[in-house]
Every structure is written in C-alpha cells, then in structure tokens.
C-alpha cells in the first residue's frame, strides 16, 4: 500500500515539476478561460442575466477549457517517448492515480480562476459561498475523473488532439446538469444548501462511479 502511494505520488510530482518547468498548459488554459469569459461578458453586454443562464454560461466555459487542457496529459507522454519508462517502473493504477490527482488540482485551479473572474466581471452576487465552493470541488473531481480516462484513450488514437471533446461531452451531461443546478441555488433567488442535496449526491456518485470504472478499465488502455 505504501509503495502504491509512493508510486502514484512520484507520477504526480513528475507532472507537477514538468508543468512548472514549461508552464505551457497552465498559461494556455488560463488565457483560454479568460478569453472565453471575456467573449461571454462582451456578447452579453449590460443585459441582466438570470442565475440559471449565468451558471450555465460559467460551466460551459469550464467544461470546454477542461476538455481542451486535460487532453494533453497522456499525449505528452507518447510524444516525449516516456510511456515505456512509466510502463517499466510503475503499475498502471499508480499512473492513473498520479495523473488523476494532477488533473484534479489542475481543474480545481481552473474552476477557481473562472468563478472569481466571472463573479467579478458580471457583478454576480453569491448568497451561499460554501455551496458554490463545494460544487466547484465536486465538479472538478467528476470532470477530472472522466477526462483523465478519456485522455488515456485518445493518446492511443492516430489523431490524438481534437477527439477529446467529442468523447467527453455526452458523458458530462449528468455532471453539467447537477453543477448548473447547484450553482443556481448558490446565487440570488436560490435556496442555498436546502435545495441542493440531491445535486451534491449526484456529484459525489458521479465522481465515485467514474473513478471506479476508470480503475477497472484503465489497464486495458494502458498496456498494449
């Protein structure tokens, strides 16, 4: 068990170090989120939006950026030719756990940046900050769980890059519905925690099921 944690941590640490060295993904996603939010803010203009539309726009931007940013997590290993090294030194589930942890923190950071920018730019009032934060964390977990597995899948295809959104969007519909509803409850006109219990359960269940399914299926993708 301790070996497993150390192995997964080593994969995670490697990804963090590589990312901090180049900062390619971080900068790209940061700019993508900011540019997309600017587009949304300018196309909306001074119009007052309902909380439902506000949360829908926010999460659509987040889902698109996550699908764009996480697509590289396994493709980069193929391109650098480091897949064989990982295969030799670690087991498949360690690689999955390390990548999942990295992607989770990545999406969490992305969500925080997106939400703060969105709230400031559109002048949104938040009535339940704790609910919004919980939604962001659980949403990031489900999003990272689904995209990590699919990133491993597209690294095996011939075209690699642009396939990820096509594969991931149909799966994310339950997640998207739950996070949008929960976010709406955290904005004015919502009822806060009292009305979001069902959505929280859905988010926990979604993340749990997606991650368990990934653990079962990952080896079939990872080993040739």
Q: Which residues bind other proteins (CB under 8 A)?
A: 146, 149-150, 153-154, 156-159, 163, 166-167, 169-175, 177-178, 181, 198-199, 202, 205-206, 209-210, 213-214, 217, 220-221, 224
Ramachandran angles phi, psi of 52, nearest 5°: -60, -45
Tokens 């703060």, residue? 116
Given the complex with other proteins, which of 33 and 207 has the nearer CB atom? 207
Q: How far is the CB of 176 from other proteins (least distance, A)?
A: 10
Q: How far is the CB of 141 from other proteins (least distance, A)?
A: 14
According to DSSP, residue 49 is labeled P
Q: How far is the CB of 198 from other proteins (least distance, A)?
A: 6
Q: What region does 52 belong to: left with phi over 0, alpha with psi -120 to 50, or beta?
A: alpha
According to DSSP, residue 1 is labeled -
Given the complex with other proteins, which of 76 and 214 has the nearer CB atom? 214
Beta strands (DSSP E) in 108-216 are none
Q: How far is the CB of 202 from other proteins (least distance, A)?
A: 5
Given the complex with other proteins, which of 77 and 199 has the nearer CB atom? 199
SS3 letters across 27-38:
HHHHHHHHHHHH
Given the complex with other proteins, which of 69 and 145 has the nearer CB atom? 145
Ramachandran angles phi, psi of 155, nearest 5°: -65, -20
């Amino acid at each position: 068990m301790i070996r497993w944690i150390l192995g997964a941590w080593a994969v995670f640490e490697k990804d963090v170090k590589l990312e901090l060295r180049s900062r390619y993904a971080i900068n790209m996603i940061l700019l993508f989120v900011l540019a997309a939010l600017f587009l949304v803010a300018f196309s909306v203009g001074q119009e007052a939006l309902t909380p439902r539309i506000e949360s829908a726009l926010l999460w659509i931007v987040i889902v698109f950026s996550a699908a764009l940013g996480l697509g590289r997590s396994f493709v980069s290993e193929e391109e650098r030719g480091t897949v064989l090294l990982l295969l030799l030194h670690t087991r498949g589930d360690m690689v999955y756990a390390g990548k999942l942890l990295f992607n989770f923190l990545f999406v969490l950071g992305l969500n925080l940046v997106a939400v703060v920018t969105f709230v400031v730019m559109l002048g949104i009032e938040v009535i339940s900050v704790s609910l919004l934060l919980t939604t962001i964390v659980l949403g990031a977990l489900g999003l990272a769980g689904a995209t990590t597995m699919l990133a491993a899948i597209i690294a095996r295809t011939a075209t690699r890059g642009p396939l990820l959104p096509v594969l991931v969007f149909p799966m994310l519909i339950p997640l998207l519905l739950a996070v949008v509803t929960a976010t709406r409850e955290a904005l004015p006109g919502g009822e806060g925690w009292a009305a979001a219990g069902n959505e929280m359960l859905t988010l926990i269940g979604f993340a749990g099921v997606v991650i368990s399914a990934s653990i079962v299926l990952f080896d079939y993708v990872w080993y040739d």
